[in-house]
Each structure stands twice: as structure tokens, then as C-alpha cells.
């Protein structure tokens, strides 16, 4: 398997873009061993079947070059835009859509937003594609209430690419590095506000701001590993913290869990998760819109418990508040899915010091070929009282 990128040295987004895949896997293996082997033996990293074209979420920055809009990425650690016409890691359908948007922007007099001047129209373009369906969703992050000729723009995008099922606008006037502002209000310009995809035999609705794995091809293998570790039974009460669009919660129900609760702070993701449960006929699954740490703390105070806890937190990891509450809820098994070995190391150190759990399995998964990021699944089981003495 080969890949080449002429921009990797400039943009800094893909550390291993021009490195043989075997060497990349070796480096990642060494990193996992260095950070996690003190807790338990680290299994060989599960390599990706695809090392190109796997990213089904593309986030492009907009800028101007000789009077025309360009799209690309900020150079790592800077605010300098590197124009990108083709990225080997991204779904090629997204690249075609971006090319069309650049051309149409020139036709309709749309210019990029200049943060220093506080002037312009378009800040970012966010594209989501379905891995197992010919569907795409285009989200335009704007600086104004409306783009010039936005209805014509959206119609032209769909005419050129009929698989684009919706074109959405989200206004962001804030001076922030966040692409999508908190409490974003998506506005449909054309079509519908979501796409659907299939994962582990289930259907999932994906909207612009909901969390969904950027590599759904490997996500299926990742989730199967997590379910096998969890050893789910019909008597299990399961909590899926940081549940996003409900992928883990619904897959757990499909694997036979008796009752499943998903906790998610993003209200749009909760709406998607509830619709996903309805689409898949999962009446044993419910979702709540809440901060996971705060909810777990209050649930522990109420004396609530669960037998299996899944947590898939953001890159920063879990909070000590969350982990302490998880310990009081006393699940028999915890399945921790991490996208950062560094924060995972910190959290496992806390668990080993303060909670009655032992680590019985660590499985790295290469979800992000070409980049330095690694996904890791860890199984922890609760120790019996006599074993803790």
C-alpha cells in the first residue's frame, strides 16, 4: 500500500504521509508500549485495511488567492493557510465537492472571511460523506446571516453532485479557533440536514455537528473489539458516556444488553441518537442531554449503578470527577476507548491508584493512518473485595 503527498512537509497534518506503512505501525507500537505497558501487556496494533481515502469528515479552511477562494488547512501550530487541492487521506468525493465550491464561489462573488478585517462571507466548509452509501452533507460556516446567491449555490452543488443530500449554513462570527461555535444553529439551504450510514449492521443518522468516527471502516472493527471485551448479557445495565450519535449504545443493545443509557452533552447529537434508536427499533436504549462528569456524579449520589460502562471521551480524556463517580457506580466491566495514549495513561494511573479495577486488556487500533494519532481500547474489570486486601 502506497500514498504520496507533496504538502505533508508544509501543512504538518500527516506525519506519516510519505512513510512506509510498516514503519508507521512500528512507531505507533513503540509509542503505545512506552506509555501503556506499565499497566498491562499491549497487544499488537490492529492495522487499517485502508490507508488512503478513509476520512469521511473533511474540514476545510477558506482563504483568498489572487481574487479567488482557495480551501485548505492551517499549517500545524500556525494560522497560515496551506491551500489543498487533493488530500490522499480524505474521501475523494469530498475533494470533488470542494473543487466545485471553489469554482461556484467565484461565479457568485463569494469571498472568504478575513478575521483581521472582520469582512467577508465564508470561513470554512465542512463535508461529511457516508462510507456505505452514496450520500454527502455540505455545511458552510459563514460570517454573515446569508451568503450571496446561497440558494443558487446550493442548487448548483447538488446538480453537479446529486449524492449531496443537503447543504447547510452555520453562522460563526466569534473570534475563536472553533470551526463550529457552541450552541450552533444549523440552517438548511437545500435538501435535508443529515445523511445516513450503516455501521455494524445498524443505520445511523449523521448531522453536521454530531460526533461520528471519521474512519467508519475501522470504527466497525473497533466497536466489535469493544463489544467482545464487554461480554454483554441480557441482564446488563449499560452506560455509554460521551455517546455522540449513539453508535456504541445502539451496537451494545444489538449485542444483547438489557438496558442502555447514553449520555451526551451536544443536544444535536442527542436528537440524532434518539432518531437512530427509533430507526433501528431499539426501545431498550435511551439518551439524555447532559455533561457526562456531572451526570455520573449525581447518579452516584442517588445510588444508581450499572454493570458495564463504555466511555469514549474527547482527546483530553476523562475527568477525575467522572472516574471517581464511575468507581462509586461500581460497574463490573469498564471499556475505555481512547483517541490519545497520553490522556489514557493519565486516566489509567488514576484508576489504578484510587479505584478497585484491574486492567486485563489493551488493544491499539490504527484508526488514523498517515497521522500520529492512535485509538486504544482498554478493558478493566472490578476486583472482588478479598482480592483487594
pLDDT of the chain along its 389 residues, tens only? 456 777 766 776 788 888 899 999 999 999 999 999 999 999 999 999 999 999 999 999 999 998 999 999 888 777 788 889 888 899 999 999 999 999 999 999 999 998 878 789 999 999 999 999 999 999 999 999 999 999 999 999 999 999 999 999 999 987 766 788 777 789 999 999 999 999 999 999 999 888 888 999 999 999 999 999 999 999 999 999 999 999 999 999 999 999 999 999 988 889 999 999 999 999 999 999 999 999 999 999 999 999 999 999 999 999 999 999 999 999 999 999 999 999 999 999 999 999 999 999 999 999 999 999 999 999 999 997 534 43
2 domain residue, yes or no: no
Query: For the domain that residue 330 is a member of, what is the CATH number?
Result: 3.40.50.150
What ranges in 177-331 are assigned the alpha helix state H? 216-230, 247-254, 267-279, 292-301, 320-329
| Geometric angle at alpha carbon 222, from 218 and 228, rounded to 5° | 145
If asked whether residues 161 and 246 sit together in one domain, one would say no
228 domain residue, yes or no: yes
For strands 308-311 and 333-338, give the pairing: parallel
If asked whether residues 263 and 246 sit together in one domain, one would say yes
- Phi/psi for 106 (5° steps) reads -65, -40
If asked whether residues 62 and 120 sit together in one domain, one would say yes
Query: For the domain that residue 70 is a member of, what is the CATH number?
Result: 2.40.50.1070
- Angular region, 308: left φ>0, alpha ψ -120 to 50, beta rest: beta
Residue with cell 451568503: 147
275 domain residue, yes or no: yes
For residues 205 and 329, give the distance between their C-alpha atoms in angstroms, rounded to a whole number: 31
For residues 245 and 342, give the distance between their C-alpha atoms in angstroms, rounded to a whole number: 25
For residues 154 and 167, give the distance between their C-alpha atoms in angstroms, rounded to a whole number: 6
Nearest to 312 by CA among 249, 359, 220: 249
310 domain residue, yes or no: yes
200 domain residue, yes or no: no
208 domain residue, yes or no: no
If asked whether residues 362 and 292 sit together in one domain, one would say yes
C-alpha cell at 105: 464561489
Predicted local confidence at residue 377, as pLDDT: 98
The residue range of the domain holding 79 is: 57-192
201 domain residue, yes or no: no
Nearest to 337 by CA among 308, 306, 375: 375
If asked whether residues 159 and 176 sit together in one domain, one would say yes
Number of separate domains in the chain: 2
If asked whether residues 120 and 230 sit together in one domain, one would say no
Residue with cell 473543487: 99
If asked whether residues 33 and 74 sit together in one domain, one would say no
Predicted local confidence at residue 5, as pLDDT: 76
Nearest to 262 by CA among 241, 284, 290: 241
Predicted local confidence at residue 82, as pLDDT: 87
In contact, 208 and 137? CB cutoff 8 Å: yes
Q: Which of 161, 192, 223 is the last residue of a domain?
A: 192
Q: Which residues contact 323 (CB under 8 A, 6 or more apart)?
A: 347, 350, 351, 354, 355
Residues annotated as part of the active site: 339
Amino acid at each position: 500500500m502506497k500514498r504520496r503527498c507533496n504538502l505533508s512537509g508544509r501543512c504538518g497534518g500527516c506525519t506519516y504521509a510519505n512513510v512506509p506503512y510498516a514503519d508507521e505501525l512500528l512507531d505507533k507500537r513503540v509509542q503505545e508500549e512506552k506509555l501503556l505497558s506499565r499497566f498491562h501487556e499491549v497487544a499488537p496494533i490492529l492495522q487499517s485495511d485502508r490507508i488512503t481515502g478513509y476520512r469521511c469528515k473533511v474540514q476545510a479552511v477558506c482563504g483568498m488567492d489572487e481574487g479567488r477562494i482557495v480551501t485548505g488547512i492551517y499549517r500545524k501550530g500556525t494560522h497560515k493557510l496551506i491551500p489543498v487541492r487533493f488530500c490522499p487521506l480524505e474521501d475523494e468525493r469530498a475533494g470533488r465537492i470542494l473543487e466545485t465550491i471553489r469554482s461556484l464561489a467565484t461565479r457568485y462573488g463569494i469571498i472568504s472571511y478575513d478575521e483581521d478585517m472582520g469582512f467577508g462571507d465564508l470561513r470554512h466548509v465542512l463535508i461529511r460523506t457516508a462510507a456505505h452509501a452514496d450520500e454527502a452533507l455540505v455545511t458552510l460556516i459563514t460570517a454573515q446571516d446569508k451568503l450571496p446567491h446561497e440558494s443558487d449555490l446550493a442548487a448548483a452543488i447538488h446538480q453537479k453532485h446529486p449524492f449531496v443530500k443537503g447543504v447547510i449554513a452555520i453562522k460563526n462570527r466569534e473570534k475563536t479557533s472553533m470551526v463550529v461555535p457552541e450552541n450552533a444553529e444549523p440552517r438548511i439551504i437545500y435538501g435535508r440536514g443529515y445523511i445516513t450510514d450503516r455501521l455494524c449492521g445498524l443505520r445511523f443518522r449523521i448531522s453536521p455537528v454530531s460526533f461520528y468516527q471519521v474512519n467508519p471502516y475501522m470504527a466497525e472493527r473497533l466497536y466489535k473489539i469493544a463489544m467482545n471485551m464487554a461480554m454483554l448479557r441480557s441482564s446488563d445495565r449499560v452506560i455509554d458516556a460521551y455517546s455522540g450519535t449513539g453508535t456504541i449504545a445502539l451496537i451494545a443493545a444489538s449485542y444483547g444488553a438489557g438496558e442502555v443509557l447514553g449520555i451526551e452533552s451536544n443536544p444535536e447529537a442527542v436528537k440524532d441518537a434518539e432518531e437512530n434508536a427509533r430507526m433501528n427499533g431499539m426501545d431498550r436504549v435511551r439518551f439524555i442531554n447532559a455533561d457526562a462528569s456531572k451526570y455520573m456524579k449525581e447518579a452516584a449520589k442517588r445510588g444508581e449503578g450499572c454493570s458495564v460502562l463504555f466511555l469514549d471521551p474527547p482527546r483530553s480524556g476523562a475527568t477525575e470527577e467522572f472516574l471517581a463517580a464511575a468507581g462509586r457506580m461500581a460497574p463490573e466491566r469498564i471499556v475505555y476507548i481512547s483517541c490519545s495514549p497520553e490522556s489514557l495513561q493519565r486516566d489509567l494511573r488514576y484508576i489504578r491508584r484510587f479505584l478497585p479495577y484491574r486492567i486485563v486488556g489493551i488493544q491499539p487500533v490504527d484508526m488514523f493512518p498517515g497521522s500520529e494519532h492512535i485509538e486504544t481500547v482498554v478493558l478493566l474489570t472490578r476486583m472482588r473485595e478479598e482480592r483487594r486486601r
